[in-house]
Amino acid sequence: MARLIGAHMPTSGGGVPKAIRDGAEIGCTAVQVFTSSPRQWASKMPDATLIAETKKAIKDTGIDFLVSHDTYLVNLCAPTDDIREKSIKTLTDELARCSQLGIPYVVSHMGSLQGQTFEDGMQKLVAATAQILDSTPKDVCLAMETTAGQGSALGYKFEHWAMVIDALEADPRLVICWDTCHLFAAGYAVHEREGFEATVEGFHSLIGLERLRIIHCNDSMKPFASRLDRHEHIGDGQIGSEPFSWFVNDPRLAHAPLILETNEPESMHRINLDRLKSMLEN
Ligand SMILES: [Zn+2]
Ligand SMILES: [Zn+2]
């Protein structure tokens, strides 16, 4: 099976169907989108026209690996009930919307402690995640994204996600999204051959690579273990070019599509895609 490589495509001026078509146009074989504004709570369910147009775009382009990224406001372990409840509702709606549109994955950064203890935050996160999975369609998976650990974000260690997965009895709809920039910034030495190997094997022994479904592919503007989340074009950052060839070609990762989330999508996505594709070994 061909290695799926794609990008987060802008939805301005045409929404999800146009984003899928634009992705195909620049050579994506997987596409990530926002299905609603990433900086707003309010969102609406898709109407029949949007559903039909999205399904037609999927059929016409042959791109059926689609991912939605949740809004940046979601914090499933927020200390205040108000924000936590809004977060649960927003993410629940997002999974419902994706089911209607034929998008099988929703990526979420899940939560930040914001002054709480790790135990308190984790308990809230697990309860919120259980509630979302219980009340949403079974054809959409929730992909927890590994974070850079910026601020008080959870999820910068594989152990955090292993705890959530264990607490939810290994629910098959709870999966993982890596982000190469976040791994590096969080202190996983994916820029060195030994560190890359330790990361892949460490994840496999703790969680299992079959649960890794998406890899966000971004170089990092900030140094190793900086806990800062700033994406850079492929090969132009602190990770450098060669490690991306490991992500592209490692057979253990081949089932997880690579998705760019780099800046300047209009001018640079095609170039970054070509950089990744030029690394493909066969
Ligand atoms: Zn990401
Ligand atoms: Zn990021």
Q: What are phi and psi of 18, to 5 degrees?
A: -70, -40
Centroid of ligand 2 to alpha carbon of 48 (angstroms): 33
Ligand closest to Cα of 67 equals: 1
Q: Which of 46, 88, 54 is nearest to 71 (CA)?
A: 88
Residue 258 pLDDT > 90, yes or no?
Answer: yes
C-alpha span between 250 and 261 (Å, rounded): 20
* pLDDT score, position 249: 98
Domain containing 212 equals 5-278
The H or E element containing residue 81 is helix 81-101
* pLDDT score, position 226: 98
Centroid of ligand 2 to alpha carbon of 68 (angstroms): 15
Q: Which of 90, 37, 52, 19 is nearest to 266 (CA)?
A: 19
Centroid of ligand 1 to alpha carbon of 179 (angstroms): 5
Residues with Cβ within 8 Å of 221's Cβ and at least 6 positions away in sequence, in order, are 230, 231, 232, 237, 238
* pLDDT score, position 196: 98
* pLDDT score, position 43: 82
Centroid of ligand 2 to alpha carbon of 9 (angstroms): 15
Residue 1 pLDDT > 80, yes or no?
Answer: no
Centroid of ligand 1 to alpha carbon of 91 (angstroms): 17
Pick from 29-43, 80-94, 119-133: least confident:
29-43
Pick from 40-49, 163-172, 197-206: least confident:
40-49
Full-model pTM: 0.97
Ligand closest to Cα of 228 equals: 2
CATH code of residue 144: 3.20.20.150
Catalytic sites, residue numbers: 39, 69, 72, 109, 145, 179, 182, 216, 229, 231, 261
The percentage of residues in the chain with a pLDDT greater than 90, rounded to a whole number, is 94
**In the predicted model, what is the mean pLDDT of residues 45-67?**
96
**In the predicted model, what is the mean pLDDT of residues 46-52?**
96
Ligand closest to Cα of 32 equals: 1
Structural domain tally of the chain? Answer: 1
